[in-house]
Amino acid sequence: MKIGTTVLNQGIMLAPMAGYTDRAMRVVARECGAEYTVTEMVSAKAVVYGDKKTLSLARILPDEGPVALQIFGSEPEVMAEGARRLLDEGLGVSPVAIDINMGCPVNKIFSNGDGSALMRSPKKIEATVRAVTDAVSLPVTVKLRSGIDENSINAVDCALAAECGGASAVCIHGRTRVQMYGGAADRKIIENVKKSLQIPVIANGDILTGGDAISMLRDTGADGIAVGRGAVGNPFIFGEIAAALSGAPYSSPTLSERVRIALCQLSLAVEEKGEAVAVRESRKQIALYLRAFRGSALLRAEINRAESYSEVEDILRRAASDGENA
């Protein structure tokens, strides 16, 4: 599978998730087997208005591997200018693609006409993709959902519009905007998109195991898969998927390995954001690493009270030691 000049051997990607796919998560996902990652979504309008905090979300460093920079907005000319300015800013390492978010379901984004609200108008999707494609020299990709609700399942029309606008690939989350993250992802709509397009199609939704990845690719014919919530607190899923796709044996990580990767992720977050912010923002993800530990509910409660890196480290190392000595 190729996105522009970027070649993915197995098409295993980390899906973009606001509040999750910061640099720390992207680095550990890459270490654990993700071939490609995508940033948190960045407001094109905020970039045009010169917001410095927004620019910091777009920073990419050399150890992250191939990374796409995701932007959102609803005005084609603003999206184009935002993308151009981001690339002109010098973000550290240049992204390998610009990804346009047309799938975010949250009310704050949707009510402004951004994210999945763009799926109301395939014509606007085409115009937006064309504007961004004309403004940058990188490949442009698009993230979509199956539709806004069950009465407007139009992912095929929207994906075709993106392709007509010059998109190099589309990623389809098989849920409607109304479903948010509930219910089951609809693989049939992803299959229909794949049959309708000439560009690569990436499948997203309900990929929690290596077996899920195999069946998703089999059922949809997609060119690759993007793992979202299944990778939160479990970046090891990428290694599991890689092994499943290649038919290789896979061994689940030990408790010590889980602790090592969790602390690596927290350390990277501290380096990027400072200890107080990083620990507070990372609690949910770090707590999810503990799913494999004995007494995980009590451990999560301890993590949620932690205020420093050293407190988190003590909790994790003690839990791993108790588990291995049990």
Query: Please, which residues have CB within 8 angstroms of residue 279's CB and are 6 or more apart in sequence?
Result: 266, 270, 306, 307, 308, 309, 311, 312
Torsion over CA: 242, 246, 247, 248 (sign)? negative
Q: Give residue 160's Cα distance to chain centre.
A: 22
Neighbour count for residue 26 (Cβ, 10 Å): 28
Q: Which amino acids are annotated catalytic?
A: 104
Close Cβ partners of 190 (under 8 Å, ≥ 6 residues apart): 146, 155, 172, 174, 201, 203, 205, 216, 220, 222
Residue 226, beta-bridge partner list: 13, 204
Nearest to 146 by CA among 220, 252, 44, 71: 220
225: left (phi over 0), alpha (psi -120 to 50) or beta: beta
Range list of β-strands (E), the chain: 2-3, 6-7, 12-14, 37-38, 42-43, 67-72, 97-102, 140-147, 169-176, 201-204, 224-227
**Amino acid symbol at 207:** I
